[in-house]
Structure 1
């Protein structure tokens, strides 16, 4: 199912756009449409939207649930709409990889509104649905706007609140073009090779060790990985602790098991390139 990713400030009209898109594809195109909504997922928990903003672990769990449900529904026909903030570019990149892996198209719809208007709309919600000022401002500061130059944000449709939903443009983006071909870092296949898992573990450990060694030498911008000529890690500016690198490594291992390469017969260099690409995307999204 082609994927529509909504993004924007809190209370920027994402849910309304989602409903507009759903109505068009259901009524005009006869498609089956699924909306995956963060409001529904958060509502099923015992935490408020504002408290969630300051609970990194819970926020991560919510994103994981949204992603899992989206991936479960993805296929080549009909439409899945992810109605959530999607404010982290690294998270949008993960969704892009997932849609490529599913051999389906996607489009990013950004709801563009100024901060003052979004706050007014927030105050118009039921009291138990409102963000506190502190939480609202925090989300505004965290927002990483999509950029059409990034392949994972493209095609990008940016809409002001008064703009009509360009349904025909969305239809063309989703159903009138071919999906991007899966590549080595997104193609899925069973991980049955013991040697693959061994190499994956070994190579990622070597890269983590190389980064830590480079930091001890005072290298803080780019770390070239010894033995892998074109693998360069772009550092975030501040040193990465062993615990941080171990966490990123675990995330990559878990992600690779869910989204493995086309063949488990990967060379050490290919595995290193995949991990470095993952690190660069993740570190860029965190800063």
Structure 2
């Protein structure tokens, strides 16, 4: 169940792109689920979901819980698209953790647009669904742009929805208008050579950019607003080539000439993103710190200690009688037994048996047996003993 997270300024065209993704992905998936404010908060309009901080917090909680339930209930033939502002990087990280816990693919779609078009499209909306001007300015200012160097923003695909070509790039404009411009901060803390160096770019088949390691300098390098803007634009141009694995199409050349065919270009761009995302992005792997531990009985370690001691005693007794096939107990009351044969064909000293038994007990404290029954413990210990004696 691959998960695609859309992010961008309000009224930038996210819903249009999300619906196109849903329509274009029907041939690749049995089911496509589109999550947005209307489905998560049916009692509120989109603008009402961001009326104040309290309602906005409830909106994010509803979106996250709906996303979590959908990821947990869907199968591998389902595509999940979250169409929302998703403008807080901490919220995008929480969504990334949900996809990671499910061991599924995760990608970010950054919808870019110029400010004039955003305000124009917002004014054309119904009065109940349109954002107010203070809302627009506040959401744009508080927007935290995605950074392809963050693992929760990888892979990062950019879709430019501008109606006309302008001198200023949409991503640069979004960064300059945001008070959370972490790109300038990371550039200021990095070495000048790291920012403007002509490092080799990633190949088009690379699904995500490898994060860079930023080393803090002993003295903070102050930059003027003009130089910071140039460095930001340069780093964004370099990062766009590495983070977006989509190759330039003929539509890009049309757009450069000032006559873009928006519908055709957008559909081709979405098809390329889906192909690259499904072909080259690997599912996330859950870490040990967040992996759900297997529930075991409270006395499983006590049973393990008693049963392994009886097994070692049975092996030592059988070896004194020079027996090759040994009947070891598979229960604490010794009513059931298992036949076990020494793999090395030699006498095993009692001290070595005790050492292996202690190692198995220490290992079982961090890795409880999948079968906590007495038979499961005996089988697991004999397998561990056989491997240790090879």
For the criterion TM > 0.5, the same-fold answer is: yes
Report the CA distance shift for 1:146/1:193 in structure 2 as closer, same or farther (over 3 A). farther
Report the CA distance shift for 1:73/1:52 in structure 2 as closer, same or farther (over 3 A). closer
Q: Which has the larger radius of gyration?
A: 2
Structure 1 position 128 matched with structure 2 position 128: yes
What is the rounded CA distance, in whole Å, between the counterparts of 2:109 and 2:60 in structure 1?
18
Equivalent position of 2:119 in the other structure: 119
Equivalent position of 2:273 in the other structure: 169
Deviations 1:205-254 (A, max 9, x none): xxxxxxxxxxxxxxxxxxxxxxxxxxxxxxxxxxxxxxxxxxxxxxxxxx
TM-score by structure 1 length?
Answer: 0.62
What is the rounded CA distance, in whole Å, between the counterparts of 2:138 and 2:297 in structure 1?
44
Equivalences for residues 246-265 of structure 1 within 5 A: none
Contact 1:4 1:80 in 2 (8 A): yes
The alignment partner of 1:127 has SS state of: coil
Q: What 5-or-longer segments of structure 2 have no aligned partner?
A: 162-261, 299-364, 368-390
Equivalent position of 1:33 in the other structure: 32
Deviations 1:92-114 (A, max 9, x none): 00111110100000110011001
Report the CA distance shift for 1:48/1:190 in structure 2 as closer, same or farther (over 3 A). farther
Equivalent position of 1:63 in the other structure: 60
What is the rounded CA distance, in whole Å, between the counterparts of 2:53 and 2:297 in structure 1?
35
Equivalences for residues 46-57 of structure 1 within 5 A: 47-57=44-54
Q: CA deviation at 1:54?
A: 4.4
Structure 1 position 187 matched with structure 2 position 187: no
Between the two structures, name the one with larger relative contact order (CA 8 Å, sep ≥ 6): 1
Deviations 1:145-190 (A, max 9, x none): 1111111011011110145233232233135432121113443347
Backbone CA RMSD of aligned residues: 2.6
TM-score by structure 2 length?
Answer: 0.46
Q: CA deviation at 1:80?
A: 0.3
What is the rounded CA distance, in whole Å, between the counterparts of 1:48 and 1:193 in structure 2?
49
- Count of aligned residue pairs for this structure pair: 195
Contact 1:3 1:81 in 2 (8 A): yes
Report the CA distance shift for 1:192/1:48 in structure 2 as closer, same or farther (over 3 A). farther
Q: What 5-or-longer segments of structure 1 have no aligned partner?
A: 195-263, 267-287
Structure 1 position 141 matched with structure 2 position 141: yes
